[in-house]
Amino acid sequence: MPYAPIVKTLFKSLFHKTPTVSYPYAPMPTHDSVRGRVEIEIGGCSFCGACARRCPADAITTDRIKKEWEIAPYRCVVCSACVDVCPKKCLFMRPTPTPVSDAVTTEKFSGA
């Protein structure tokens, strides 16, 4: 009976609940230790660039003249160094995962 282990595994996988979550369609469970992702309250930002200089992954860019703040969410290592160094305290960590998208590689916020 060389097929017995295979048949056992087959029936086990057919009649048991899926161990994973289909993330884009079902919400991911959040844990207390998850930092989440960086978000900004653009109205309070002075576009000083301290967060961009402090970011170890170079995921943040700021433009003082155009009043734009941009982050590459998939490049961010979620260390929260930018949140700690922000003088206006307009950056914060939201305990939600980064949204899934094929087209979005950067998130741009404008203060104008």
Query: What is residue 101's predicted lDDT score, i.e. its pLDDT?
Result: 64
- Is pTM beyond 0.85? Reply is no
Task: Determine the structural domain holding residue 82 and report its residue range.
Answer: 29-110
Give the CATH number, domain containing residue 54.
3.30.70.3270
What DSSP state is assigned to residue 74? T
Does residue 57 form part of some domain?
A: yes
Query: What is residue 66's predicted lDDT score, i.e. its pLDDT?
Result: 92
Q: What is the count of structural domains for the chain?
A: 1
- Residue 84 to residue 101: CA distance in whole angstroms: 28
Parallel, antiparallel, or unpaired: how do β-strands 107-110 and 60-63 relate? unpaired
Measured in whole angstroms, how far is the alpha carbon of residue 88 from the centre of its chain?
Answer: 22
Does residue 100 form part of some domain?
A: yes
Closest CA to 79 of 101, 95, 57: 57
Measured in whole angstroms, how far is the alpha carbon of residue 70 from the centre of its chain?
Answer: 14
Q: What are the pLDDT tens digits along the chain (112 aa)?
A: 677 888 888 888 888 877 777 766 777 677 777 778 899 999 999 999 999 999 999 999 999 999 999 998 888 898 999 999 999 999 999 887 776 665 556 777 776 5
Does residue 24 form part of some domain?
A: no
